[in-house]
Structure 1
């Protein structure tokens, strides 16, 4: 890694929370973002609600650095990064065909730069979780991207990079990924096939994208669900399987991919989980990590309803009420 590139890790003030976000996370593409299923302002809407609730102020937030080429090369091939210089390739990943017609300099600034900033946020949040016991990147969770290919709105492999950074700097020996987005996390799974130090638990709808059989080889605890699964079955399976996973594997950090596309009526998840079901799901993950002294880093990942931002904000507020995050939760294990 070039010494000229800024380090994605840095110390934060004692009064700051390990809550990582920047206004530049939000995608603005001359209005074209309105034609995409993804709410390109979701991340900003989460923070706005947290501020309106009085839980945080601007001073609490940690602003990350943007992942640069040398950082990304820790995971990504040169060929893949070069492919992003062609707008047509980015259009396939973002699933916005009109992007193919735009100058790449616009694509880099309006879409890929926010994604690189969120990727830097995930890497920083991983380190902050070790320092404080927990961290949340209000963004990231690009679980369909691997070192040599993007897809499913995911241009950078932030989950793989988060873990590789921690191992590279000898901050951890192993990690567990708990992916509760509605979709199979095939990107990091391809990166960690046959990597014993990374335990993957993935709970997803087997009937939807990506149906990646090769990537499934990396999953150590696979929970495949059907369409329209509801709260009782979902929470029961998540609780049982995570407890069994932690009996098999003792991680130095738990990377929690907390997609809200499991919500009832989400156009891509096709599951029937209620808003309170999402809140209780997140509460359980943080609770079991606190009980077992496992640092946890949460990434917000997928979620394609306008109400997703409100549900994420309500979940974060609930975690604070339960004493699972906040000033009293800070402190290295």
Structure 2
């Protein structure tokens, strides 16, 4: 973790209420739209270099394509978010961290694609970091929509390895932290936030950002043998569930049901941020778990069911997932939530 001088701490530097009040990230839902957030600029095109990472750099667009192939959803209208500006990002990130992204070598480390280090930074800003900033704006907007409509989905975001002064693991901006700060700054009646992180990897970014906070409860269930294994960040987890590699559906879903129920009973949040990574799926080379496609669909249904039956707003972020089949699974899961009346996609 890089050292930060006292004058650079987010708390001293950000002026949260001023930043959120002046931000253009909170926009109203247009008539006929569902609270599902997406824009084509989420997708990454970097001269073919994006293929050097196992991540499907067009996953987000492929989710939408798969959704619109479904007969009942082909005419759905999505919400188009704005790009998070540097002023917005300063609510979470130090100026030194944001400056560091102007060096291509640092972007290469974050994206884990070393050849990116030789690409001019102006290209990376447009082709890599701008898509991340749009997705970050999408997560923040999803927070507003969840408060207003009871649920929302950002077809993107979930950059849970990034915190205030450091990025990593394909995560350049701390969208989860930013989303929570925006909600707490805008809505006086929301004072307790729960993060349910079911990506295959430990969510060390938001854990470091919310270390010691009593108003943010973190449940994190992850493969204990893989990246990032951040021992310090684990101190921030209120309900920690560490899985063995290649855990299968029966055990996985039983743990999801038991621990989501337990967390909600223990904390009683006013809103839930659900980080719904699909890198738990069997065959994922980075997640190394063995949950089936149907298991992922059931997982999301369990989370939404338990949260919605308590009438708590929920924000879903799509986070990790490193197979070409991932996008179709996310689309199938969203369609299932709609079919089970856990969300209502207007068409």
Same fold (TM over 0.5): yes
Q: What residue number does 1:110 align with?
A: 127
| 1:5 and 1:70 in contact (8 A); partners too | no
Q: What residue number does 2:245 align with?
A: 227
Other structure's SS at 1:204 match: strand
Other structure's SS at 1:142 match: coil
Is 1:278–2:301 an aligned residue pair? no
Is 1:199–2:217 an aligned residue pair? yes
How far apart are residue 57 of structure 1 and its match?
A: 4.7
Is 1:264–2:278 an aligned residue pair? no
How far apart are residue 169 of structure 1 and its match?
A: 1.5
How far apart are residue 150 of structure 1 and its match?
A: 0.1
Q: What residue number does 2:38 align with?
A: 21
Structure 1 stretch 47-56 or stretch 304-313: which is displaced more?
A: 47-56
In the aligned structure 1, how far is the partner of 2:76 from the partner of 2:218? 35
In the aligned structure 2, how far is the partner of 1:96 from the partner of 1:291? 43
| 1:64 and 1:120 in contact (8 A); partners too | yes
In the aligned structure 1, how far is the partner of 2:345 from the partner of 2:226? 39
- Length-normalised TM-score, structure 1: 0.96
Other structure's SS at 1:81 match: helix
Aligned pair in 2 of structure 1 residues 59, 240: CA closer, same or farther (>3 Å)? closer
| 2:37 and 2:154 in contact (8 A); partners too | yes
Kindly provide the CA deviation profile for residues 225-252 of structure 1, in whole angstroms up to 9, marking residues without a partner as x: 0101000101101111111111110111
| 1:189 and 1:218 in contact (8 A); partners too | yes
In the aligned structure 2, how far is the partner of 1:4 from the partner of 1:252? 21
Q: What residue number does 1:62 align with?
A: 79
Aligned pair in 2 of structure 1 residues 89, 282: CA closer, same or farther (>3 Å)? same
Matches within 5 A, 1:100-249: 100-171=117-188, 172-249=190-267
Is 1:250–2:268 an aligned residue pair? yes
In the aligned structure 2, how far is the partner of 1:4 from the partner of 1:209? 36
RMSD in angstroms over aligned alpha carbons?
A: 1.4
Other structure's SS at 1:98 match: helix
In the aligned structure 2, how far is the partner of 1:133 from the partner of 1:227? 35
Number of aligned residues: 328
| 1:49 and 1:313 in contact (8 A); partners too | yes
Other structure's SS at 1:28 match: coil
Aligned pair in 2 of structure 1 residues 284, 4: CA closer, same or farther (>3 Å)? closer
In the aligned structure 1, how far is the partner of 2:21 from the partner of 2:290? 48
Q: What residue number does 2:312 align with?
A: 294
In the aligned structure 1, how far is the partner of 2:167 from the partner of 2:60? 21
In the aligned structure 2, how far is the partner of 1:194 from the partner of 1:292? 26
Which runs of 5 or more residues in structure 2 are unaligned? 1-17
Aligned pair in 2 of structure 1 residues 155, 58: CA closer, same or farther (>3 Å)? farther
Other structure's SS at 1:239 match: helix
In the aligned structure 2, how far is the partner of 1:151 from the partner of 1:2? 25
Which runs of 5 or more residues in structure 1 are unaligned? 329-333
In the aligned structure 2, how far is the partner of 1:254 from the partner of 1:217? 20
| 1:259 and 1:303 in contact (8 A); partners too | yes
How far apart are residue 55 of structure 1 and its match?
A: 3.7
How far apart are residue 2 of structure 1 and its match?
A: 6.2
Other structure's SS at 2:45 match: coil
Q: What residue number does 1:44 align with?
A: 61
Give every structure 1 segment of 4 or more consecutive aligned residues whose post-TM-superposition deviation is greater than 4 Å.
Answer: 1-6
How far apart are residue 13 of structure 1 and its match?
A: 2.1
